Structure 1
């Protein structure tokens, strides 16, 4: 270990080789886990949105999509090329995650030492929060890669060796941050952090800020298009929905946020988090920031970014532990930069790595076997929500209905890898949060579903089938209505019911 710790900066050829190995090993490890990990409930709506875009539909204008617009288009690219497939979705996700880790490793290897770069990589890939949420086709892995690219480019552009490429780097950095925001609105909080850093660290401040903002403006062009088409729908999907989505009282929401803070800061145990890795990263970066300010030094940029995101994640209602997974790469990055000059720095980081590795087995068991603490995984039906089972059900659905049939599906993911179409308003499950909160005109405009409409939906002549978990049947429709409308139970396996109406 002492020999490894003292390894100096390497040549470019060796640097590229080590980075490639980190990417390959990360990809192999994450993909192995990803293929075994339970399906995340929100994956269904993200992937179905990508499939709908691949078929020529647009978010906001053709279906309800309460997120920034880019991710469905990213999914649509590979869906058009390879077809909708759960395993391919996980492969693409892991490619983005591995790219994030490799990019961080490359930068640290070139600016610090090989040992610190390896330590940073091991710290990130040993965090259960990263393993849990960077292996599913949600926003986390996809947004982390452009954010890491923006961070690395900004740091490089403010160094002397990056002076020659300053304008190009800041332009690309601004574009990368814009792409990150195009995936998830949370990241808008990072704009002032980057601008402040550039103003304080860059030699040609005006030129640098202008280039950064120009890059970000390029990424904002799609928003101008959607806003021009229907500003009201664009605003509701990205902002308005999130302001009123909570179904709980303000007192309960405030208590929930405090509870989440206690969990992610390590002050309260929970099945939703494993070990002390994330809490120690949070407190370590907080103390590093305070120490830097006390000594009149600017804190490491990744530390500021991680803390800004950490605070931002407490704004929406409700708050979920999974949000904080995107802070992990930034927090590790910040500690490496902030502690490298201290005698105790490496020892502290190695101690953190050991603690993370000790909690890893329980975390992996939770992701693969028990499902405990995983949002959307119910102990009664957890065996249904695996890649193998969901893929089997996709094949069963395709063989049960004619291609292009319109189906009522309780969960969008059941229809992703099929040739079937969701009933209008059921493209994602989040309509339930708006039930009884909007007028009939708003429901129509924003392309939502309501409980009232859903109850009568089986009577509509275009509906060919129904796919629903047995335990949720009465919540969505009436068995008596299904019988009256001529629906017959064609399959009942693993707690999943498939109804067909062959007369339609």
Structure 2
């Protein structure tokens, strides 16, 4: 084949690869809608685009303005559909891939550029996180653009490219703050390069200023503008990140973060090995890979952050990792490292691509159909102007209903850190006259409202002001739905009744405030319903299990019992926030053949794993024997004339 013909074929290969992978990205694009963060982002850009609301002022959000307003612009210019927003994300993803293709083509060659394109688009994190409307597609695009621009010159760093790169990194940092970490990698490269070639300090200073000044100007103009419009801007954005994990010690944070590093290494061992090998060879040979390699040590910053992070948070490194790995694998496949290098290169490619492709296919095949039914239920119980509070904020977007100020930003991080509390939500619900609430109660997936520090208070508010509609499955989610009946005003006051005060101390921090019964005179075969009221001065060290025993007074026989971790494991003692009143409901089924007579309840706590009972102390501080508290309230089953000692009571005279 002639050289011109070969060039023509090569020109079409990337186009065909892009077309094929784009078709794969669009398969079943909207089949799965249970993406928690995506739902939050869809709702927020919908409110900006259609209601003219301003983030931080009109609704709470930790998201940064460039991401929100780019998305709102697309939604306003095109449509409000889920498909449109996801297609926008896909276009950004392919834009990042093309940038990496161009960088690899410029600095190495055709094979490396084609591999960079494929490795990036097939990567399982890219396919999973960047086919949906999240901030990752726009963020990675700006990271890739900044890296490619800064390192575009083949020889010396050039200030015009550094300036353009600084603008890109500034915009990226206004999508995700991790953009500043990646920008630090460019700074490390400039400093190292200046030291290596003994560059004069004035020249280094001009290069650094050319990069940093545009970055800072973008940050100051945009962030300053939003702070002027909404003074809550910095508190909401920075508070979201800084409050997470702030109660943990540095050692606890370090161990947790190291675990994520280890997990990431286990997920992508071949790709990371290829990237590290390429970086080392690049330093030894003095080629352009040294510029990309300086991104890798910036990951150390993640070890110092107290907030929780996941493998997807390493995506800011992905452009550099892909470029480095593609270069090394291209050299192997092209035979630079002898015949066996081709075999190793092809094997490495298969080990990288096949597992990712299988996961991509699995991800693209996910389908759920339960959202529509739940959306219909919400719309039947509310009017378009009615406010709702939903555990998965995406339901508010799909149902086209507004939520409360903090309800727009429900997340595990914001709730677990105390940035959002039940008391805050209650005040907002009263203010907006909220008509419907959903709470995800699955122990496996319920990480929002159930994790409120004052969840019992929030739950009592629902019981006192809403009717329980029912429990509904939304694929793996399990949702309790509460709706208002009529126009009765919401009452924020916390109301509960303790019929029998107590005061017994359980362990070092927990106290039984008292208890109440629905009925104290029962018939065999009926259930005994009662509530224990607890409080705590600090979270307990263990998730103690509460035991409740129904004892027949005359025989001391155990007739029934109910053991459980409080709030059906939703609110265990290890999460009891100081001062909260925990109302924990119990039910004991009384056997149909239970003897008539007087009964009492015995209560205690034990460690489910060891069976060890928790020590109990009375009001004077004396320890109660055997870790069992006998409640004083008398209970009668069957013939209510039987006394606590098994003797028949004399009937009262009928006057």
Name the TM-score, length of structure 2 as normaliser. 0.61
Counterpart mapping for 1:478-493 below 5 A? 482=462, 484-485=464-465, 487=467, 489=469, 492=472
From the CA coordinates, give the structure whose radius of gyration is larger: 2
Gaps in structure 2 of 5+ consecutive residues: 488-655
CA gap 1:23/1:298 in 2 versus in 1, 3 angstroms: closer
Question: Please, which of 310, 326, 348 is the counterpart of residue 336 of structure 1?
Answer: 326
Match of 1:428 in 2: 409
Question: Please, which of 477, 481, 484 is the counterpart of residue 501 of structure 1?
Answer: 484
Counterpart mapping for 1:129-144 below 5 A? 129-144=125-140
Match of 1:269 in 2: none
CA gap 1:48/1:348 in 2 versus in 1, 3 angstroms: farther
Match of 1:264 in 2: 264
- Alignment partners' CA distance in 1, 2:429 and 2:60: 21
Match of 2:23 in 1: 28
Greater RCO (CA < 8 Å, at least 6 residues apart): 1
Match of 2:175 in 1: 183
Match of 2:119 in 1: 123
- Alignment partners' CA distance in 2, 1:355 and 1:467: 43
Cα offsets for 1:171-200 (capped at 9, x unmatched): 322211111111111121232332354563
Q: Whose helix proportion is higher, 1 or 2? A: 1
CA contact (8 A) 2:146 2:166 kept: yes
Q: 1:135: how far off?
A: 1.8
Name the TM-score, length of structure 1 as normaliser. 0.77
- Alignment partners' CA distance in 1, 2:134 and 2:181: 20
**Is residue 102 of structure 1 aligned with residue 98 of structure 2?**
yes
CA gap 1:470/1:208 in 2 versus in 1, 3 angstroms: closer
Structure 1 stretch 406-415 or stretch 17-26: which is displaced more?
17-26
Match of 1:289 in 2: 279
Cα offsets for 1:348-387 (capped at 9, x unmatched): 54332200233236524663578xxxxxxxxxxxx8xx4x
**Is residue 49 of structure 1 aligned with residue 44 of structure 2?**
yes
Q: 1:396: how far off?
A: 4.8
- Alignment partners' CA distance in 2, 1:7 and 1:96: 32
CA gap 1:492/1:287 in 2 versus in 1, 3 angstroms: closer
Match of 1:397 in 2: 378
- Alignment partners' CA distance in 1, 2:163 and 2:26: 33
CA gap 1:293/1:482 in 2 versus in 1, 3 angstroms: closer
CA gap 1:26/1:206 in 2 versus in 1, 3 angstroms: farther
Describe the SS at the equivalent of 2:174: helix
Counterpart mapping for 1:58-457 below 5 A? 58-159=54-155, 168-198=160-190, 200=193, 208-220=207-219, 221-229=221-229, 233-246=232-245, 249-250=248-249, 251-266=251-266, 273=267, 278-293=268-283, 299-305=289-295, 307-316=296-305, 317-337=307-327, 343-344=336-337, 348-360=344-356, 362-364=358-360, 367=363, 386=368, 388-390=369-371, 393-394=374-375, 396-430=377-411, 433=414, 437=418, 449-454=420-425
Structure 1 stretch 75-84 or stretch 141-150: which is displaced more?
75-84
Q: 1:311: how far off?
A: 3.0
CA gap 1:491/1:132 in 2 versus in 1, 3 angstroms: same
- Alignment partners' CA distance in 1, 2:32 and 2:23: 14
Match of 1:445 in 2: none
CA gap 1:466/1:157 in 2 versus in 1, 3 angstroms: same
- Alignment partners' CA distance in 2, 1:225 and 1:395: 40
CA contact (8 A) 1:189 1:308 kept: no
Supply the RMSD in Å over aligned alpha carbons. 3.8
Cα offsets for 1:104-148 (capped at 9, x unmatched): 223333443333222222222332222222222222211111221
- Alignment partners' CA distance in 2, 1:10 and 1:173: 31
Q: 1:254: how far off?
A: 3.0
CA contact (8 A) 2:128 2:363 kept: yes
Q: 1:290: how far off?
A: 3.8
Structure 1 stretch 404-413 or stretch 205-214: which is displaced more?
205-214
Cα offsets for 1:243-286 (capped at 9, x unmatched): 221276335433322222222122xxxxxx4xxxx222323333
- Alignment partners' CA distance in 1, 2:53 and 2:432: 23
CA contact (8 A) 1:67 1:185 kept: no
In the alignment of these two chains, the number of paired residues is 457
